[in-house]
Amino acid sequence: MVQKPLRPEDLAKRVADRRSAQKGAGMRHAEAGQWRRETFLLPRADARQKAQALFARFPKAAYMTEIEWWRECDDGQIEFTIRRLRSAD
């Protein structure tokens, strides 16, 4: 059986259909795209204070808060992304 090559539209439709089926199946909100992500670029000391303030406001136990990604830039600043559940909004 010869399979017809996929077009980008076919792939996009398949992904959209899968997402809507998963949301309708009662997935946990963490898997259904309920994360809130914020990215910051701050000097090291300010980045530490900002992260501590966010963890104090949105505790890990209640909001599953975590530093999802971070890096140190060439100029010494820290860029980081913090992730938490949207239930706080």
Indicate whether 29 belongs to any domain. Answer: no
**Number of folded domains that form the chain:** 1
Strand partners, 47: none
Residue-wise pLDDT tens digits, 52-88: 999 999 998 888 999 999 999 999 999 999 999 987 5
Distance of alpha carbon 4 from alpha carbon 42, whole angstroms: 50
* pTM, two decimal places: 0.59
- Sheet strand arrangement including 35-43: 35-43, 77-85, 66-72
Distance of alpha carbon 36 from alpha carbon 49, whole angstroms: 19
Q: Give the pLDDT confidence score for residue 49 in this predicted structure.
A: 97
Indicate whether 8 belongs to any domain. Answer: no
CATH of residue 40: 3.30.30
Share of the chain above pLDDT 90, in %: 51
